[in-house]
A = this chain, B = another copy of it.
């Protein structure tokens, strides 16, 4: 998991990303103009779940299919296959040549893409409502009719290998992040990079791909999310005419993954690289996700991240960047929308003559202060307001709403969880924030990554 903030658990949809990435929502806006985002939830006979979120502000619709399969579900030694399959889904099917789907979207002025994460793989298009059924036909077609030849596999494997070389191996921060993840997670599969380990990606073959496709690309392992200027009954009829014709696949076993043992040590991972100019650190802890937490704990962690380091109002920013002037950046984030236990992260980088160790000590001090003294009622209220607003007013980002439903349903949650989220956030008490800070953010059981310039060895 990367260092970037993942506000309310959404994924960026602009590019075919491997792993979570920033997706900050638009700033506050007046409450009274927001749509109510009420979602209709139904199940097709073949087991495909459908969520429709009407939004009539503009003649546009976001169409997404989420498969409940991510890198954390991959067989041992086959890392990268979930992301590889995301790529393969853009290849030829029995009914359409490679590129035909993309061209159809472009021809009507729409946009499309896909992304893979630890717990899911999703495909999406944003188009005028008149093109929705065409999108469904294309998407339903590639769910079962891909043509996986050795040639297709080889060509696309070269693409993902090159993607790894440029995105990870050529980027010291990404190289460090991978080894930090694999140090933080010692048993749970989030330790494996979404894009895969190079030596395993090189071996992925047609047999692996076919087995993966036949196991997971099935209507009973998929969630359709349609958000936009549509009527739920019309969407339902369209979904039945398209996806509904696909036969249900074999039942999938429950997604029970290896669980992380208790951490008893303080761990560090240091990368020293000539390409780094400014040192930085990030410290992570294993914490519960919305799916694994006791009631209220994940909400408290979300607000703790907001108060500690969510934005320019946060304690870390105000104290380290504004008042002390020792940091060029400092913050915190919590990735709540995960199937298994997840991570809480703080990070910082020095400014001017300040040392990295000064910034780290100041961050530790702010955490210790919350764990000992808690937060004020006033800053809690302000944090709740900011947080709930950011959830409610995604007015320019219809796809963020679709993402929120899709990622929640793909990680063990349901539509009710999304709808009730603001209320659950509002109920968190200052005592609960103090409790989760004291319980989880323990220095002796943390994992820190250091990215250092070459000359700063030993900093």
- A residues contacting B by CB (< 8 A) are 76-77, 79, 175-176, 179, 182-183, 186-187, 189, 191-192, 197-200, 256-259, 261, 263-272, 444
Contacts and interface: CB of A to CB of B under 8 A. Distances in A.
Given A76-B257, A199-B261, 20 more contacts: A77-B257, A77-B259, A79-B187, A79-B258, A179-B186, A179-B263, A182-B186, A183-B183, A186-B191, A187-B192, A197-B258, A199-B259, A200-B259, A264-B271, A265-B269, A265-B270, A266-B269, A266-B270, A267-B267, A268-B268
A268 B257 CA distance: 27
A284 to B, nearest CB: 14
B265 A267 contact: no
Contacts of A76: 76, 189, 257-258
Given A191-B186, A256-B77, A265 B199 contact: no
A299 B180 CA distance: 33
A259 B179 CA distance: 15
Contacts of A268: 267-268, 270
Q: How many copies does the complex hold?
A: 2
A131 B261 CA distance: 45
A176 to B, nearest CB: 6
A198 B261 contact: yes
Nearest to A182: B186
B265 A176 contact: yes
A266 B451 CA distance: 11
B266 A197 contact: no
B179 A187 contact: no
Given A76-B76, A266-B270, A267-B269, A261 B186 contact: no
Contacts of A175: 264-265
Contacts of A271: 264-266
